[in-house]
Structures are given as C-alpha cells and as structure tokens.
Amino acid sequence: MELENLKSAWVSLDKKLEKSALFNDQLIDFIVNNQSLNTIEKMKKQNQWLFLILIVELLALGAILVGNPFDFNYAVQYLPFAFLTIIIFIAAVRLYTFQKRMNADLASHPLLTAIQNLLNYFKENKSAERWFGIISLSIGFLVPWSFLPQKIERYGVVRGILDIVIMLSVTAVIYFLAFRFGAFKNRNKEKLEQYLREWNELKALSNQINNV
Amino acid sequence: MEKDFLDILNTHRPLLFKVCHLYCDRSEDREDLFQEVVLQLWKSYKGFRHEAKVSTWMYRVALNTAITYFKKSKKEISSFSGWPGYEIPDFLDHTEPSDQLSQLYLAISQLDKIDKSVILLYLEEKSYEEISEVTGLSHSNVGVRINRIKTKLTNLINK
C-alpha cells in the first residue's frame, strides 16, 4: 500500500478531532496547579540532596577534628575546621527548618498563599542570608592557614607562606568563578517568583474563560 | 490577549492532539505532554509577533516540546492526580486495528523523533518551506528526508 493512499485517512482525522470538547477553565486550573507542584517538588528534592551533602560534610569534618589526619600539632590549627563545622551545622539546621516550614505551609495553606509565604521568608531573611554567606566564605579563606606550621617545617618560612598564598589564590578564583556563574544566587526564590508571575497570568486566563 | 490565546488553542486543538498522540503511546503520558505543550505555548505566546503563521508557531513549539520531553517518574505523576476529566481523543479505531489510519500510526510510531515531526508536517500538507521553518532543517534536507521516510513507511506498512 502506498503512503499517498493513506494520506487521505490522515486528513479525514481533522473532522473527528474537531468534534472534541473545547478547552475549559478546569483544565487550565489543573495545568497551573500541576506545574507549580512540580516546581515545588523539584525544589524539595534538591533540598533533600543538599541536606544529605551537608551531613556527609559534617561527618568528614568530624573525622578531621577527632582523627587528626593532617597531623596538626597546635590547637589553633583546628580552629578553621571547627568554624567550618559550626557553619555547616547551622546551614543544615536552617535547611531542615526551611523544608519543614515549606511542608507545613503547603499542607495548611492554598498553594498560592504557601508560595507567597515562602517568598516572604526569603525576603525577611535576605540580610541574614547575606551575612551567613560572607561568614561562610571568610572561613574558607581561613582553612589554608591550618597547614602553615607543617609548610614552614617542610619548606621554610618563605616558601611555606607562598604555598599558603597559592592556596588562598585558588580559593579566591573558585569563589570568583562561582560568583560569576551565579552559584550564590537564590535560584529557588527566582523560580518561585517566576512561577508566581506565570500563575497570575494563567489565572487571568482562567478568569477570562470563566467570563466567556 | 488571554482570550486570543484561548481561541487559538481551541481552533488548533487537533494539532495538539496529533502531536501528543504521535509522541506518547500511553494516555497518561499524553496528558502530561499535553500540559507541557500548553504551558510552553502560553509562555511563548507573549513573544509571538504573528510574523509566522499561527499554525507554524504552534507546530514549532509543540514539536520542540515533544522532542525534548522527558517522561516524569511514575511517583511524580501519581502524586498530582486529579486530571479534570478532559479527554484527549483517541483517534485510533481499536476495534479495527487493520484500518488505514491505525496502520499508518503504527508505522509512524516506529520512526525516530525528528522523522516523526517531518512526516507529521508532510501529512498535514505543509510546504517544504514551512516544514523547514518548523523543524530548522534546510529546504533540501527536508526533501531528502521525506523521500527516505516515505520509503521506510511504505516498507513498514507492507511488511
């Protein structure tokens, strides 16, 4: 059988499909809700993964503090790692409470209100988040100094300090690249804001359909 | 603007159904893809300047979405149940699987994603120029591809 013969069967399909029901407001509502829930589900999963990573980091830092794998000789060498442990612990707690709050909001409020609440949370905590970020990054610059005594012992004062400066430069470059590529942006907030915009637009569409 | 969008959507709904049918076998997947296509259409509608034909724009968005569409996990789909009962019409006659349309559909379902989009546009009697505009393939490439697909489909149907 030739394809050309079957083409007419395909063209006749339009008549059948044109008899289907018109799109209605319920359908648009469903699509809006489903889209938003998918966004939030993705965010929740990302947070769960991030939480897991923080726990692994805490365990690794705990092992460093307890097991001394770098052969630190002075208590002060542990300080940057202790600060790092504290800051990661705080980050894990904050993430956990954020997730809990998000779940509670979603369970007790309509979706739109829950999203608005989350955006308000981001807004209220903007300054705290900023300081938390600055402190975290500063601690990153302290960590290389923990290795200074061993470096001096092994290579002498000048080369030891030079080694530390190189490590600090690498850290600075990593931070710069991370900043440049938007690693410090609150993508969750951006996604929710974008979603809220789309929601309002689609809601307007839904209302329009209701009025037709 | 919203009213216009809805009018366009309703006028061209057979187009949406055809794309969803060609790219998804299961009705749940079709519903899922349908939602995604409608959303993408809405998002791009704001930037649509009517320079291209409405149907060309719709085909481009719908086919791009279908080609790049990845199925959501079963868990994700089931957690958002509540499809409002809108039926995406099944255009196949399951009581008579040997009818011409079913044969054609089964043969097309064995093509790859890009070939599916090309043959859909060909069956919709679009010009090579329009097919080229929607798919991004060059004019000559469209001609060559269509000939190859036609041979492939004829072989599959006559098997």
Residues B72 and B54 in one domain: yes
Residues B75 and B114 in one domain: no
Give the confidence band of A54 by pLDDT, cuts at 50, 70, 90.
very high
Euclidean distance between CA atoms A116 and A166, whole angstroms? 45
Question: Which domain range does residue B132 map to?
Answer: 97-159
Predicted local distance difference test score (pLDDT) of residue B48: 77
Euclidean distance between CA atoms B16 and B14, whole angstroms? 5
Q: Which of B72, B89, B106 is the last residue of a domain?
A: B89
Residues B122 and B69 in one domain: no
Residues of A in contact with B18 (CB under 8 A): 13, 17
Check CB contact under 8 Å for A9 and B99: yes
CB B132 within 8 A of CB B138: yes
Q: Above 80 in pLDDT, residue A98?
A: yes
Residues B106 and B157 in one domain: yes
Residues B71 and B127 in one domain: no
Q: Above 90 in pLDDT, residue A34?
A: no
Q: Which residues does chain B have with pLDDT short of 70? A: 1-3, 70-86, 91-98
Predicted local distance difference test score (pLDDT) of residue A90: 92
Three-class SS state of A60: helix
> Mean pLDDT, chain A, as a whole number?
83
Q: How many helices (H) and strands (E) does chain B have?
A: 9, 0
Predicted local distance difference test score (pLDDT) of residue B155: 87
Residues B43 and B107 in one domain: no
Predicted local distance difference test score (pLDDT) of residue B75: 42
Euclidean distance between CA atoms A10 and A20, whole angstroms? 17
Which is it for the CA torsion A129, A134, A140, A146, positive or negative? negative
- Residue A181: both structure tokens together: 């590529």
Residues of B in contact with A6 (CB under 8 A): 100-101, 103-104, 157
Name the more confident of A41 and B80.
A41
B2 touches A: beta carbon within 8 Å: yes
According to DSSP, residue B89 is labeled -
- Chain A residue closest to B1 (CA)? A205
Residues of B in contact with A3 (CB under 8 A): 104, 150, 153-154, 157
Residues B80 and B15 in one domain: yes
Residues B127 and B56 in one domain: no
Check CB contact under 8 Å for B6 and A9: no
Give the confidence band of A79 by pLDDT, cuts at 50, 70, 90.
very high
Q: What is the dihedral of CA B111, B99, B88, B65, to 10 degrees?
A: 10
Three-class SS state of B24: coil
Residues B102 and B40 in one domain: no
Q: Which of B65, B89, B113 is the last residue of a domain?
A: B89
Domain count, chain B: 2
CATH value at residue B127: 1.10.10
Predicted local distance difference test score (pLDDT) of residue A26: 65
Predicted local distance difference test score (pLDDT) of residue A162: 94
Three-class SS state of A49: helix
- Residue B69: both structure tokens together: 């569409």
Q: Which of B89, B109, B134 is the last residue of a domain?
A: B89
CA distances A108 to A31, A98, A115, B139, Å, are 21, 15, 12, 56
Q: Above 80 in pLDDT, residue A198?
A: no
Residues A91-98, mean pLDDT to the nearest whole number:
90
Name the more confident of B86 and A95.
A95
CATH value at residue B66: 1.10.1740.10
